[in-house]
Structure 1
Amino acid sequence: MPLIQVKLIEGVFDDTQKHQIVERLTDAMVEIEGENMRGVTWVVVEEVKSGHWGIGGNALSTADVRALAAGVPVG
């Protein structure tokens, strides 16, 4: 029974996008394991507070992630 944990910085993805993450990750696991595993495949989406996530020694905010997604360099 797989458990897939996804951590996101808060406020970056809306509820529709989070539902798509759950659906598509479940589909990916079922593609590997077989359809019988769909009902026991868990996906947990957790949001981390803005500024409480760091990469390369730098804390990232929600605004930083949105800038990165738009192709704007951060830092």
Structure 2
Amino acid sequence: MPLVTVKVVEGVFTTEQKKEMISRITDAVVDVEGEALRPVTWVLVEEVDSGLWGIGGTGLTTTDVQSLQGRVPVPH
């Protein structure tokens, strides 16, 4: 029973994007392991609080990730 955990910074991806991640990741596992594993493939999308994902000693914020994506940050 495969379990895949995806961690993302909060507020970066929409619910629809996270559902698409789940679907595509499941498809990728099935491509490798076979269709019989689809019903028992678990994918968890976990959000990490903005600023609590550290890279190089600095907390990465939602705004930082949106900037990397070339998106204009949405005010909260």
TM-score (norm 1): 0.92
Percentage of pairs with the same residue? 56
Deviation at 1:35, TM superposition (A): 0.3
Deviation at 1:47, TM superposition (A): 0.2
Deviation at 1:58, TM superposition (A): 1.0
Residues in 2 aligned to 1:27 and 1:21: alpha-carbon distance in whole angstroms: 10
Residues in 1 aligned to 2:29 and 2:70: alpha-carbon distance in whole angstroms: 29
Give CA-to-partner distance per residue, 1:41-66, whole Å, 9 cap, x none: 00000000000001111111000000
- Match in the other structure for 1:51: 51
Q: Runs of 4+ in structure 1 displaced over 6 angstroms?
A: none
Q: How does 1:1-75 map to 2 (within 5 A)?
A: 1-70=1-70
Residues in 2 aligned to 1:53 and 1:12: alpha-carbon distance in whole angstroms: 13
Residues in 1 aligned to 2:51 and 2:30: alpha-carbon distance in whole angstroms: 34
Residues in 2 aligned to 1:54 and 1:38: alpha-carbon distance in whole angstroms: 33
Number of residues of Structure 1 aligned to a counterpart in Structure 2? 71
